[in-house]
Amino acid sequence: MSHSVPTHDRAALQNTASSSSRSLSSSVLADLFELAAFPHWPGFADRTVCRRANAAMTGADFLARVENVRARLSSTQLSSTPSQRWLLWCEDSFEFAVGLFALWQAGHGAVLPPNAQPETLAQLLPDCAGILSDHLPTAIPTQQTTTAAMVRPPQPITADALALQLFTSGSTGKPKAVHRTLRQLQAELQALSQQFPLPDATVLATVPHHHIYGLLFRLLWPLASGRCFVAETEHYPEPLLAQIATHAPCLLISSPAHLNRLPAATDLTRVAPALVATFSSGAPLSRDSALLLQQQWGAAPYEVLGSTETGGVAWRQRDAASSDERWQLLPSVQARLTADGGLQVLSPAAERQDWCDLGDRAVLRDARHFELLGRADRIVKIEAKRLSLTELEQALATHPAVAEVAALVLDSPRSIVAVVIRLTATGQQSLHEQGKRAVNEQLRNHLAGRFERVLLPKRFRYVADMPRDSRGKLTQQALTALFAADSHDGVPQ
């Protein structure tokens, strides 16, 4: 499929690469393969699609592995009919991609849990035909290579069938299932390819592949555009820079959780010539970090705005020479404001082909640009992971020690979750007998089966009465004030 790239967009991207002293012989990639035609991608079998543990995996290797897993899926009694949903969780990105395409070739949709916590998996499994994984017990292993006999031929899913079921926290505080089709995924890949006609490069990542951003940018976009991806996810600065140097030229798929810390952790200039571009998504990237990265790498990251429900909808790239903070809509995406200033978008990549709320307040500068004014809901980002403060509160309220709870985010020196709690009589007794540290850990353990560790509260305040105003409301200012004095011992007065 050939795309018509706007002249000004192509020039801007190529000028960015030029100003960053990128000397690349590879041409800009213009073709994007159709996900639905995966086994028939021209030239796919002969090219390197993945590198892991310093080994090169070719398209032929990938096709063989996908067919092997598909065959075993087809032969199992659990998979006797098409159009089922299978829970897919793999730690290894190559194994995950194998499992995902095998499910699609078998006519099934993939259910991608937000994490592998036991409680999360237990909630999802009743609606799934089984598990496909590289390490979870009771799963069909993706890495096994024994081909089953007497299996059905491939029965691929159609472009409008369920391809993915992901989960995110909605405004109600409960996990929300989000469904995406191959057609919707293809629409987003097409928008990315059109907006960012970047040279050929190996794709590295610091973000996981089982959320929509990592899935699209580090796996599906590379596979569909003819690029190679690195299977390992690197979190630490020095090994990451070693990866960049080893696999040059590179595209880095990252997040503010890593990029905000990177400039202070090491000298980035030594790998600048090897880096074609950096992408950031999942949470706001500070302007200071963006400009430091521009100074050391020659170009600030491309920041992508979106959600699990809508996919990516807009992008921007900060510049030290300008104070411009505007976002530009991706191709085929439209935006409008609600009566109260909430941002809505209409995108062919979205789950619902209608106007969708992003949960942000904004101001429109023109038909293609807007500025964000802050969140309009209680969904927050901690280390680039979405958290519903309402859901956290509801979970804590089920503990016998908790009578009432309010959750908030403290932003200094970094974003952490804090909770203000009015204890029950049982909780007050535990606090008196065991101390605050022990009660804190009991409550964190209570949450650990549902929430990832980075999302657990790190600061606690126990109060005799919640700090409500004259209207009976809990204000952010009153809650934050309880954490202003570090000497506060958290014991109800």
Q: Concatenated DSSP letters for 36-98?
A: GGGGG-TTGGGSEEEEETTEEEEHHHHHHHHHHHHHHHHHSGGGSSSS-EEEEE-SSHHHHHH
User: Using an 8 Å Cβ cutoff, are 207 and 282 in contact?
Assistant: yes
Q: So what's the pLDDT on residue 81?
A: 63
Q: At 386, which amino acid appears?
A: R
Q: According to the per-residue pLDDT averaged within each range, which of 91-100, 130-139, 474-483 is highest?
A: 91-100
Q: So what's the pLDDT on residue 146?
A: 62
How far, CA to CA in Å, does 260 sit from each of 236, 284, 288, 415?
13, 10, 8, 12
Q: What is the pLDDT of residues 366-382, one digit of tens each?
A: 999 999 987 777 778 88
- Asked if omega into 249 is within 30° of 0 (cis), the reply is yes
Least reliable range by pLDDT among 23-27, 146-150, 326-330, 395-399: 23-27
Q: Please give the Cα distance from 445 to 485 (Å, whole number).
A: 26
Q: How far is CA 204 from the centre of its chain?
A: 15
Q: What is the pLDDT of residues 432-469, one digit of tens each?
A: 999 999 999 999 999 998 999 999 999 999 999 888 75
CB atoms within 10 A of CB 260: 22
Q: What is the pLDDT of residues 397-431, one digit of tens each?
A: 999 999 889 999 998 678 899 999 999 999 999 99
Residue with tokens 């706001």: 284
* Position with higher pLDDT, 109 vs 377: 109
Q: At 331, which amino acid appears?
A: P
Nearest to 141 by CA among 65, 55, 207: 65
Q: So what's the pLDDT on residue 32?
A: 85
- Cβ neighbors of 77 (< 8 A, separation 6 or more) are none
pLDDT at 319 over 80: yes
Q: So what's the pLDDT on residue 94?
A: 96
Q: So what's the pLDDT on residue 80?
A: 53
Q: What is the pLDDT of residues 189-237, one digit of tens each?
A: 999 999 999 999 999 999 989 889 999 999 999 999 999 999 999 888 8
